[in-house]
Amino acid sequence: MPKQNRKKRVKKTKLSKRLAQLVLALLIIFSIYKISSDQLKGQQRSTTVTAPTQQEIEAQFIKKMVPLAQAAYHKSGVLPSIVIAQASLESNFGQSKLASQYHNLFGIKAYGNVPSVNLETQEYVSGQWLTISGKFRTYASDVESVDAHTTLMTKGTSWNSKQYASVIAAKDYKSAANALYASGYATDPTYAQKIIQMIENFQLTKYDP
């Protein structure tokens, strides 16, 4: 065979090998890109699926509160439905800044030298809503917050130890809700109505004794 033909064949063989290597490299790059792309899409789908809905957040919060409220009932006599409804309303199902960062589930104010934080709040004064800066208690845990609520119900305030006696004495949730407002727990004139609606919407009386 002439040398010239052998050289041509060698060149063609080398070129074919380089083309094959290039194609293989491109296939590998494409495969890596495809895998990475699929993984990213999978993560995005996973994030979308696992993000809890508002309904799920509400259900989870109530589920967490049930044993705490029932345990509190044996100490204070306040119906669990009232405790759960108050915590849900005051903390927006644990989502408020006061609840999520400082474990204050009931909007309890701070007086004297106690752990506290200043946050904006709304108060109903002289027939209108006003935004003011309030001093609120801070707690180490939700359990501590529930215990503080129990203490408030049973021992009252520094100026009235029997302030919430009518809440404890109430035999049904409607009477207890109205007693809360009448005792001065909140300035909102519709507070009792909101508590009652919360209890009825989520059927919280099933957790009462």
Q: How many residues does the chain have?
A: 209
Q: What does the alpha-carbon distance between residue 138 and residue 7 come to, in Å, rounded to a whole number?
A: 87
Domain ranges, residue 14 = 1-51
CB atoms within 10 A of CB 194: 16
- pLDDT of res. 120: 86
The token pair at 25 is: 């490299």
Say yes or no: 61 and 159 in one domain. Answer: yes
The arithmetic mean of pLDDT across residues 99-118, rounded, is 95
Give the model confidence (pLDDT) of 3-34 as tens digits: 555 555 555 666 666 776 766 767 777 667 66
Kindly state the helix (H) or strand (E) to which residue 137 belongs, with its residue range: strand 128-137
- pLDDT of res. 11: 57
Say yes or no: 65 and 13 in one domain. Answer: no
Number of domains observed in the structure of the chain: 2
pLDDT at residue 47 above 60? no
Reported confidence tier of residue 131, pLDDT bands at 50, 70, 90: confident
- pLDDT of res. 4: 53
Say yes or no: 37 and 65 in one domain. Answer: no
Higher-confidence residue: 129 or 81?
A: 81
Say yes or no: 188 and 139 in one domain. Answer: yes
Say yes or no: 75 and 158 in one domain. Answer: yes
pLDDT at residue 58 above 60? yes
> Pick from 51, 68, 89: which residue ends a domain?
51
pLDDT at residue 137 above 80? yes
- pLDDT of res. 130: 82
Say yes or no: 45 and 109 in one domain. Answer: no
Q: Give CA separation, 150 vs 51, 74, 106, 195, in Å.
A: 33, 10, 11, 17
CB atoms within 10 A of CB 113: 6
Q: What does the alpha-carbon distance between residue 62 and residue 202 come to, in Å, rounded to a whole number?
A: 9
Reported confidence tier of residue 46, pLDDT bands at 50, 70, 90: low
- pLDDT of res. 157: 95
- pLDDT of res. 44: 59
- pLDDT of res. 7: 52
Name the residue type at position 56.
E
Q: What does the alpha-carbon distance between residue 79 and residue 205 come to, in Å, rounded to a whole number?
A: 9
Reported confidence tier of residue 108, pLDDT bands at 50, 70, 90: very high
Give the model confidence (pLDDT) of 144-184 as tens digits: 999 999 999 999 999 999 999 999 999 999 999 999 999 99
CB 167 within 8 A of CB 78: yes
- pLDDT of res. 138: 98
Say yes or no: 36 and 121 in one domain. Answer: no
Q: What percent of the chain has pLDDT over 70?
A: 78
Q: Give CA separation, 80 vs 42, 87, 127, 191, in Å.
A: 42, 11, 31, 17
| Strand 128-137 relative to strand 116-125, pairing | antiparallel
Burial per residue of 67-94, b for 16 or more beta-carbon CB atoms within 10 angstroms, e otherwise:
ebbbbbbeebbbbbbbbbbbbbbbbebb
